[in-house]
């Protein structure tokens, strides 16, 4: 959740991140870590 109107970076990870765009309103940078598809397993455990 953003608490300011300033642009902020976003980190996309997990299987669903592959379906998302590379640009969003209010986002300064989209970061996709290497092997981010596997991160969904780590976060969901």
Q: What is the pLDDT of residue 11?
A: 85
Q: For the chain, what is the mean pLDDT?
A: 78
Helices (H), 1-45: 39-44
Q: How far apart are CA 38 and CA 24, in angstroms?
A: 23
Q: Whole-model pTM?
A: 0.63
- Long-range pairs for 10-14: beta carbons < 8 A, 24 or more residues apart: 12/36, 13/39, 13/40, 13/43, 14/39, 14/40, 14/43
pLDDT in tens, 6-19: 998 888 877 778 78
- The domain ranges of the chain are 8-44
Torsion of CA 8, 10, 31, 34, to 10 degrees: 150
The answer, yes or no, to whether residue 21 has pLDDT greater than 80, is yes
């Amino acid at each position: 959740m953003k608490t300011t109107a300033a642009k902020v970076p976003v980190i996309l990870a997990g299987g669903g991140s592959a379906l998302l765009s590379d640009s969003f309103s209010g986002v300064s940078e989209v970061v996709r870590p290497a092997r981010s598809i596997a991160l969904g397993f780590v976060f969901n455990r």
